[in-house]
Amino acid sequence: MGKIKLNVLGISYSQTQSGAYALVLSEEEGNRRIPIIVGGFEAQAIAIELEGLAPPRPLTHDLFKNFAESYGIVLEEVNIHKLEDGVFFANILCDKEGQHITLDARTSDAIALALRFSCPIYTTEEIVEKAGIVLDFEKGSDFEHPAASQDEESEVKIEKPKKGTPQTDLSKTSMDDLRSMLAEAVSKEDYEKASEIRDEINRRSK
């Protein structure tokens, strides 16, 4: 099965899960995007690297990179190889003097490390088909990850949006309305909301 290369598009604050963020990946040769919910610490680790910030003391992922490089270990690639019950599974392929080792990893950690090692991120067509959101407008449309600010500890602060209207109960929404809501969420680039609607549609389609 062929690999599909992914790029990290950006991070936005989750509108529905307190303290969580939506990490958006995009296929390199296509217009599908995959939203993945990650925790605040992982979002911070990813955002810091995206912004090119250098914290005064190494974060956990920076320490892992320093440790690996000290012992001649290189991360060659990250593979998101399974999607089960809404959870993405990943592994990282390492090389040490010609010896290849595959390690299991949380997807958010694997991506944070991939950015630090400048190694490619791959997934399968099956996962992109299942979890991808197709954009009908031009591929180059803007998506900005939050501007990272730096305090004394170089923490990335992502401003939380104001509370909006109560969340719609998707389980009581018709399929036609779900499809319309999905199209609207995608057009607004609200990938975290679109991900929830997509999952509800997939559940009913089983």
Total Cβ atoms within 10 A of residue 139: 11
The model's pLDDT over 170-203, given as tens digits with 9 standing for 90+, comes to 888 888 888 888 877 766 656 567 777 877 887 7
pLDDT digits (tens, 9 = 90+) for 21-49: 889 999 998 889 998 988 888 888 898 89
Q: Whole-model pTM?
A: 0.68
Residue 55: count other Cβ atoms within 10 Å of its Cβ.
Answer: 15
**In this structure, which CATH number among 2.30.30.220, 3.10.690.10, 3.40.50.720, 3.30.56.10 belongs to the domain 3-164?**
3.10.690.10
- Rounded-to-integer distance, Cα 83 and Cα 25, Å: 15
Residues 96 and 73: their CA atoms lie apart, in Å, by: 5
